[in-house]
Amino acid sequence: MQQLIGPMRAAIERYALIEPGDRIAVGVSGGKDSLALLCALAKLQRFLPQRFTLAAVTVDPAFSGEPGDYRAVEALCASLGVPYRIRRSSLGTLIFEERKEKNPCSLCARMRRGMLHDEAKALGCNKLALGHHLDDAVETFWMNLLYGGQLACFSPKTYLSRKDLTVIRPMAFCTEREVRAAAARENLPVVKSRCPADGASSRQAVKEWAAGMEKTYPGLRDRVAGAMERAHLSGW
């Protein structure tokens, strides 16, 4: 996790993501990003001057009507001393079988976020940490531009007044390569996605396009990220 600690501390300090007394729920999908975030925050608990507590929450979409197997994630949380809660849902059935959504990702993401918000509040948390990293931010910028004609991105820190909950993204300065390497080095128990749209979404298409652009214009990702910060785009 060491390669993630430096960029995470920089983001935490730049955007005041963690404050003394925070109770932080970590949204854990079972993917490498959220698991790496959980482990890195657990390490940061030991030496950050801001004292804070952690809990982990998974929203299980139950794709194909079958509950997901998160026993390995549960064991990881136990080893870290982090309370873990699973919110079972019928999102998979609702979106893919009942509604038969042609573009399911946006609706699924919104509904899962709503459930995460509710679970975080039920745990008495004032913040929800999500595992988005630098590559996610730049890809989101491109998605908003290419599909929506907007200059926008998610924010490193967002206060949701309706929920009285602050969403933070402590890995905002970490690259996907760094996250992947950390997850592999720590042998994190990644849960393979069972989503029918996995690998065939608009985000995946933009991800591949951005990777091609990066080969053509080396350093493009970092220049876009720098431009977002200089423009204070969406709170960057």
The pLDDT assigned to 200 comes to 67
Q: What is the DSSP string of 147-175?
A: HH-------SEEEETTTTEEEE-TTTT--
Dist. CA 204–CA 89, nearest whole Å: 25
CA–CA separation, 110 vs 95, rounded Å?
12
Q: How many residues does the chain have?
A: 236
| 165-202 pLDDT per residue, tens | 999 999 999 999 999 999 999 999 999 887 777 766 78
Give the structural domain span for 76: 2-235
The CATH number assigned to the domain holding 119 equals 3.40.50.620
pTM of the entire structure?
0.93
Residues in the chain where the model's pLDDT stays below 70: 199-200
For residue range 19-33, what is the model confidence (pLDDT) as tens digits? 999 999 999 999 999
Q: DSSP letter at 59?
A: E
The total number of structural domains that make up the chain: 1
Query: What pLDDT sits at residue 97?
Result: 76
Q: Which residues, listed in sequence order, are joined to residue 157 by a DSSP beta bridge?
A: 168
